[in-house]
């Protein structure tokens, strides 16, 4: 369920009513705890490479201090420190607690309080006000700000962070580079760039080192690969 944000409402000209939303609040709390736990799991996974331990993402730079290989540890530290700033809405900032900390340790705040607004011209709007996400009083606008996209954005940002951290590990970079060496770039009928395995006979022969095979090698090649060979990427 998502609530939108539009132009500010003149509260002097409207009648309001509050609606309890315990199911929305319970699902919101579950999301807060889940995404925070993802950060803690990621922290443990990162430091395990260095045979160290840390269950706190905010304390990860300290856990990486002096770890070897130094180059990898320093690269990860830079990314983690930037992430702590970027995810203040999840991890908190200094003494200012994030919504998850307040819900877990202080009070079970809802994401916002569901409010109905009845204006004199007969327009009825519904939105979230205040709460853990500190929503402002706004009119309903379909194209406006919504709770759903806000939380989804946090998931996408976390996924991007995970791939960025993994890319700093040598074995991941080497595996990705090896995979790219066996991938050809091509454009489909729409002109969109695609990444697909090149399964043409020429590409398979090149990878096998058989671009200029002897008759015996050619016969053996076709016996083994003919059932799997597809047309060249540029073929219709």
Q: Please write the tens of the pLDDT for every residue from 44-74.
A: 999 999 999 888 899 999 999 999 999 999 9
Give 132: exposed, middle or buried? Use CB within 10 Å, 0-12, 13-18, 19+.
Answer: buried
Question: Considering the entire predicted model, what is its pTM?
Answer: 0.63
pLDDT given for residue 186 in this prediction = 52
pLDDT given for residue 139 in this prediction = 47
Q: What residues of the chain score a pLDDT lower than 50?
A: 1-5, 139-145, 233-236
pLDDT given for residue 145 in this prediction = 46
CB 70 within 8 A of CB 79: no
Q: Residue 165: how many CB atoms within 10 A of its CB? A: 20
d(CA 123, CA 131): 24
Give 63: exposed, middle or buried? Use CB within 10 Å, 0-12, 13-18, 19+.
Answer: buried
HSE, CB side, 13 Å, CA atoms: give it for residue 203: 17
d(CA 109, CA 92): 16
pLDDT given for residue 76 in this prediction = 94
d(CA 188, CA 233): 9
pLDDT given for residue 100 in this prediction = 84
Give 110: exposed, middle or buried? Use CB within 10 Å, 0-12, 13-18, 19+.
Answer: buried
Task: For 51-88, give the DSSP string.
Answer: T-----STTHHHHHTT-SSHHHHHHHHHHHHHHHHHTH
Q: How far is CA 211 from CA 179, 204, 205, in A?
A: 21, 9, 5
């Amino acid at each position: 369920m998502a609530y939108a944000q539009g132009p500010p409402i003149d509260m002097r000209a409207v009648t309001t009513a509050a609606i309890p939303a315990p199911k929305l609040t319970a699902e919101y709390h579950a999301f807060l705890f889940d995404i925070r736990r993802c950060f803690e799991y990621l922290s443990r996974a990162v430091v395990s490479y260095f045979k160290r331990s840390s269950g706190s993402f905010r304390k990860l730079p300290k856990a990486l201090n002096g770890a070897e290989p130094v180059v990898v540890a320093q690269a990860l530290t830079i990314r983690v420190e930037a992430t702590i700033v970027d995810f203040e809405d999840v991890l908190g900032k200094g003494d200012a607690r994030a919504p998850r900390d307040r819900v877990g340790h202080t009070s079970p705040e809802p994401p916002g309080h569901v409010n109905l607004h009845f204006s004199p011209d007969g327009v009825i709007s519904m939105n979230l006000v205040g709460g853990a996400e500190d929503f402002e009083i706004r009119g309903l606008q379909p194209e406006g700000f919504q709770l759903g996209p806000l939380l989804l954005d946090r998931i996408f940002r976390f996924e991007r962070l995970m791939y960025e951290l993994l890319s700093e590990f040598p074995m991941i970079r080497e595996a990705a580079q090896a995979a790219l060496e066996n991938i050809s770039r091509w454009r489909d009928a729409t002109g969109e760039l695609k990444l697909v395995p090149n399964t043409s006979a020429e590409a398979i022969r090149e990878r096998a080192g058989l671009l200029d095979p002897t008759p015996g090698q050619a016969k053996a090649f076709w016996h083994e690969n003919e059932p799997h060979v597809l047309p060249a990427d540029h073929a219709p």
